[in-house]
A and B are shown apart, each in its own frame.
Chain A
Amino acid sequence: MDLTCTPEEEEFRARLRRWLGEVLPRLPAPPAATDWPGRRAYDTAWQRMLYDAGYAGLHWPRDAGGQGATPAQHLIFLEETERAGAPYVGANFVGLLHAGPTLAAEGTAEQRARWLPPILRGEEIWCQGFSEPDAGSDLAALRTRAVRDGDTYVINGAKIWTSHAEVADWCELLVRTDPAAPKHRGISWLAMPMDAPGVTVRPLRTLAGSTEFAEVFLDDVRVPAGNRVGAENDGWRVTMVTLSFERGTAFVGEVVACRRVLGALARAARANGRWDDAVLRRRLGRLHAEFTALWRLTQWNVSEAMRAPARGGQRGSGGVPGTGGSVFKLRYSHARQELYDTAAEVLGAGALDADHEWVADRLSSLSYTIAAGTSQIQQNIVAERILGLPKGR
């Protein structure tokens, strides 16, 4: 067991830190959380800066245009950018963390050449068309149909909870291509242009007041068959590859941010006298232990992933999402909610001010136990795939 960084990793950290120190002071203030076109412009400009400095697609393989960094370097990158207060991936989230890695792993040479460079340069934004009104956590129950017509698919259906749909150029779309097949088969993974005729986006207002996600209606949308990634009806396997990326590293930077917020909460409580409340103080102390352990769990999972290729199991067993990711997400999503509930205690009546950063984060934290697989679904994954409990209903 070793927690120290190699000299190469330390050098990488130092170089990154220097670069961040140079560029961040020149960065304009971020737009309001509700201003999605503004956010798109801001997030893609940041992505372009990363690209020009050689930090775009850090953990992507080199032949996909990435930097081929080790998971440990990726961890350092997330740690340092978060610590320095650099922008997070934001609107580039789906492209960089799901669609890109999926295309890199499963796409043809032509598909990779078409879609990967614009993601890395921050020119094209992707969204995720997985969930449907009647198929949320039960993803394989999706009903959006794609019927083959010559060399195009004709798509009809609806998607929901589609983050960044308003400003996206492309959608990683799951469609049913064989309705007669068992529900996990007969699904295909398509890259759908969001400006195709028949695509209607209706933003949904979240309880936090923002419109970060939307409903997407698909009426006779025509997508070339060449936009299918993976074989026809093999989309479930491709999807599992996508989800393993989603749960693998998506929250790493946030843990660093939470640790910073925790320190700020303690200082705020000291300043306003609430620190004298032993119950609150003890709650903060417990969160300190939680977030430290979540960071260690991340290091544990990343180290495990770094060893995995050597054991020949690069994508886990049969593309099953990393169960370590489920363990992490279960605890992290609850700890994050607990953190901001504690922030509300520190703020007192100030917790009623929706413009306060911590209050906005408290509201958005409510999605963490639902998005990317609810806590209940994650618990079933842990129980069935790690503990070997029988499937049930």
Chain B
Amino acid sequence: MDFQLTDEQRALKDGTRELLAGRFGRDRLRAAVEDPGPDRALWRELGAAGFFALRLPEKGGGVGLGLPEAVLVLEEAGRALLPGPLVACQLLAGVVDGVATGEKTVGLCEGAREPVLWEHPAGCDELILVEGGEEGGGEVEGDEEEGARERTGGAYRSASDRVSCAPFASVDPLTPLARVLDLPRTDPVALDVPRLRREAALLTAAQQLGSAVRTVEMAAGHAREREQFGAPIGSFQAVKQLCAQMLVRAEMARSAVYAASITESVLDITGAKLLADEAAVRNARDCLQVHGGMGFTWEADVHLHLKRAWLRAECWGAAGEAEELLAAGLIA
């Protein structure tokens, strides 16, 4: 057992952080708030760096890495608040042509949820809708039952201009949304839908982790600098304890997310998503609190983390659903 990053994994994580810091710094982030469509030039650069082809075999021009590495990369994307259909492009890189290199973008939406929401409708060349294959709810009765459900669920693809949509005002300025009214189900794709759901939940959790870690740093950084009553506010116990709780949440989420990327078990992933959602949302709120009035402004980045965290918490298994599944897992 060596449950720590390998040197290669650390290098990948650091390299991704540097790449994103160089290509998607604060100016670009704030520009994206005004125009949140995926930046195609940046998307191609990420593609060239192997961001999307990470898990494709080396023979096919991929990087040949695994789910733990994808988690590390998406953690960094979450940290940087990188907008775009990141999870979809990561998961469908080998399925839809051009996605692996960043030439094309693909969206992914869950047919089971109501309303059916599509992230970045204007920024996707194609949309894939997944239906059925529910792993949530119900009781897990053991491996056989789970195996049987693995085979259920369907997926359909469609060119984005053939999807019937209604406008939907997204709470997150960096993630435009549309409500899908109808998608032509004429073009099925052979996908392992339960697996896709699991991996989508895990990669979403990884981004939540990155955001949770970032907001702790933002809060601690502010608390070290900002002076009130003649002392840095970080010297006050009330502020210290707020920051410490943020770190604890982030570290719990980290252990859970990293472990789930190794075991790939449904329950581990479900628990990791639950804790990462909580860490991202609550850390963003506490970060806002530490920033005081400044944190309540549009100029501060805190609200961008909070709103994205809210959005991700609703994707691929929200808290209630996750808790029910985990409870069922206790009596399996």
A: which residues have CB within 8 A of B? 1-6, 9, 72, 75, 262-263, 265-267, 270, 278, 281-286, 288-290, 292-294, 296-297, 299-300, 302-304, 306-307, 327, 330-331, 376, 378-380, 382-384, 386-393
B: which residues have CB within 8 A of A? 1-6, 9, 68, 216, 220, 223-224, 231-232, 234-237, 239-241, 243-245, 247-248, 251-256, 258-259, 261-263, 267-268, 270-272, 274-275, 320, 322-331
From A4, A267, A393, B1 is in contact (CB under 8 Å) with A4
C-alpha spacing A267/B331, complex, angstroms = 6
Question: B3, B5, B331: which has the most chain A beta carbons within 10 Å?
Answer: B3
- CB contact under 8 A between A389 and B240, given known A1-B6, A286-B326: yes
C-alpha spacing A292/B216, complex, angstroms = 23
The answer to whether B323 touches A389, judged by C-beta atoms less than 8 angstroms apart, is no
The answer to whether A284 touches B330, judged by C-beta atoms less than 8 angstroms apart, is yes
Main SS class of interface, A: helix
The answer to whether A292 touches B271, judged by C-beta atoms less than 8 angstroms apart, is yes
Q: Top 8 closest A-B pairs, CB basis?
A: A392-B235, A289-B271, A285-B323, A285-B327, A285-B326, A389-B234, A266-B330, A379-B244
From A267, A293, A392, B252 is in contact (CB under 8 Å) with A293
The answer to whether B252 touches A297, judged by C-beta atoms less than 8 angstroms apart, is yes
The answer to whether B9 touches A1, judged by C-beta atoms less than 8 angstroms apart, is yes
Q: A389-B243, A392-B240 are in contact. List 18 more A-B contacts (CB 8 A).
A: A1-B258, A1-B261, A2-B1, A4-B1, A282-B323, A284-B327, A285-B323, A285-B328, A285-B329, A289-B272, A292-B267, A292-B268, A302-B1, A383-B243, A387-B220, A390-B232, A390-B234, A393-B237
C-alpha spacing A303/B328, complex, angstroms = 31
Q: How far is the CB of B2 from chain A (nearest CB, A)?
A: 5
Taking CB atoms, residues of chain A closer than 8 Å to B255 are 293, 296-297, 299-300
Q: How far is the CB of A182 from chain B (nearest CB, A)?
A: 20
The answer to whether B232 touches A262, judged by C-beta atoms less than 8 angstroms apart, is no
The answer to whether A3 touches B330, judged by C-beta atoms less than 8 angstroms apart, is no
From B3, B9, B235, B247, A327 is in contact (CB under 8 Å) with B247
The answer to whether B256 touches A292, judged by C-beta atoms less than 8 angstroms apart, is yes
Closest to B219 in A: A387
Closest to A375 in B: B241
Closest to A323 in B: B247
The answer to whether A1 touches B324, judged by C-beta atoms less than 8 angstroms apart, is no
From A75, A290, A299, A386, B259 is in contact (CB under 8 Å) with A299
C-alpha spacing A294/B256, complex, angstroms = 8
Q: How far is the CB of B245 from chain A (nearest CB, A)?
A: 7
Main SS class of interface, B: helix
C-alpha spacing A2/B271, complex, angstroms = 19
Taking CB atoms, residues of chain B closer than 8 Å to A267 are 330-331
- CB contact under 8 A between A380 and B331, given known A303-B3, A390-B232: no
The answer to whether A9 touches B1, judged by C-beta atoms less than 8 angstroms apart, is yes
- CB contact under 8 A between A379 and B262, given known A288-B329, A299-B3, A303-B3: no
The answer to whether B323 touches A387, judged by C-beta atoms less than 8 angstroms apart, is no
Between-chain CB contacts (< 8 Å), 7 pairs: A290-B275, A296-B258, A302-B1, A303-B4, A379-B244, A387-B220, A387-B243
- CB contact under 8 A between A3 and B262, given known A282-B327, A389-B234: yes
Q: How far is the CB of B236 from chain A (nearest CB, A)?
A: 6
From B247, B258, B274, A386 is in contact (CB under 8 Å) with B247
The answer to whether A376 touches B237, judged by C-beta atoms less than 8 angstroms apart, is yes
- CB contact under 8 A between A5 and B1, given known A383-B241, A383-B244: yes
Taking CB atoms, residues of chain B closer than 8 Å to A382 are 244, 247-248
Question: A263, A283, A285, A304: which has the most chain B beta carbons within 10 Å?
Answer: A285
Q: How far is the CB of A279 from chain B (nearest CB, A)?
A: 10
Q: How far is the CB of A377 from chain B (nearest CB, A)?
A: 10
Taking CB atoms, residues of chain A closer than 8 Å to B6 are 1
Closest to A331 in B: B248
Taking CB atoms, residues of chain B closer than 8 Å to A266 are 327, 330-331
C-alpha spacing A118/B108, complex, angstroms = 65
The answer to whether B252 touches A331, judged by C-beta atoms less than 8 angstroms apart, is yes
The answer to whether A3 touches B259, judged by C-beta atoms less than 8 angstroms apart, is yes
- CB contact under 8 A between A1 and B3, given known A282-B320, A294-B252, A389-B240: yes
- CB contact under 8 A between A389 and B326, given known A3-B259, A72-B1, A382-B248: no
- CB contact under 8 A between A330 and B248, given known A292-B271, A389-B223: yes
C-alpha spacing A285/B317, complex, angstroms = 14
